[in-house]
Amino acid sequence: MTGRTLALDDALYQYLLDVSLRESPLLKRLRDETQQLPMARWQIAPEQGQFMALLVQLSGARKMLEIGTYTGYSALCMAQAAGEEGRLICCDLPGDYNAIAERYWHEAGLSERIDLRLAPALETLSALERGGHGESFDLIFIDADKANYTVYLEHALVLARKGGLILFDNTLWGGRVLETSPDSADTRAIQALNRGLRRDTRVELSLLPLGDGLSICRKR
Ligand code: CA
């Protein structure tokens, strides 16, 4: 069983959580509140949040960017892990969920470190590029509209510093990446991203079967 990644059934997944998840009561409350919302599936899994926090610590990331924030769970994980020097710019559209994110960030004492920009992400990314933020981000997490994933990649490559990390969520897309001629533009975009990353010489790459698939790129 060592030649390939293990498939997790419910019991083994629960075991993984039981022996490794260290979710804070605050994060647990945020996750429970988000579960009541219609788009609850937009939230990342708790073990993924914990992994991303560890990644922030391992890489020493300070200046970070998130595209697609929703109720702020991943942002809270990353900003907390980055410590006092950490700064996170979050891109999302205006919605009822913005207030939930800001309420929990405030409770966590992170309001000063997280800058939520409510506009189409492509506008915010262009503004950052025009504003001299190119080649400056240590870590960029992309979890917004899938149809734009390949466009976000190009912006992320402009904005990330050399050696910076670019993360894409949902790159296994619930298995729909296996469809041969998908009707969904989202599925087609994720397939295109995955195919492109495989041969993209601008990055190092690993696709982790964590949550719904997390692709980690390191800008060369
Ligand atoms: Ca996601």
User: Tell me: the pLDDT tens digits for 82-131?
Assistant: 999 999 999 999 999 999 999 999 999 999 999 999 999 999 999 999 99
Query: Please, which pLDDT band fits residue 134 given cuts at 50, 70 and 90?
Result: very high
How confident is the model over 19-39, as a mean pLDDT?
96
The Å distance, Cα 75 to ligand 1 centre, comes to 12
The Å distance, Cα 134 to ligand 1 centre, comes to 25
| Residues 64 and 110 sit within 8 Å (Cβ to Cβ) | no
* Residues that place a CB less than 5 A from ion ligand 1: 143, 169-170
The Å distance, Cα 93 to ligand 1 centre, comes to 15
Catalogue all structural domains in the chain, each as residue range(s) with its CATH number: 22-219 (3.40.50.150)
The Å distance, Cα 54 to ligand 1 centre, comes to 18
The Å distance, Cα 64 to ligand 1 centre, comes to 17
The Å distance, Cα 42 to ligand 1 centre, comes to 5
Q: pLDDT tens digits, residue range 140-189?
A: 999 999 999 999 999 999 999 999 999 999 999 999 999 999 999 999 99
User: CB within 8 A of 35, min separation 6: which ones?
Assistant: 43
The Å distance, Cα 15 to ligand 1 centre, comes to 23
The Å distance, Cα 170 to ligand 1 centre, comes to 5
pLDDT tops 90 at residue 1: no
Query: Please, which pLDDT band fits residue 52 given cuts at 50, 70 and 90?
Result: very high
Query: Please, which pLDDT band fits residue 198 given cuts at 50, 70 and 90?
Result: very high
The Å distance, Cα 113 to ligand 1 centre, comes to 22
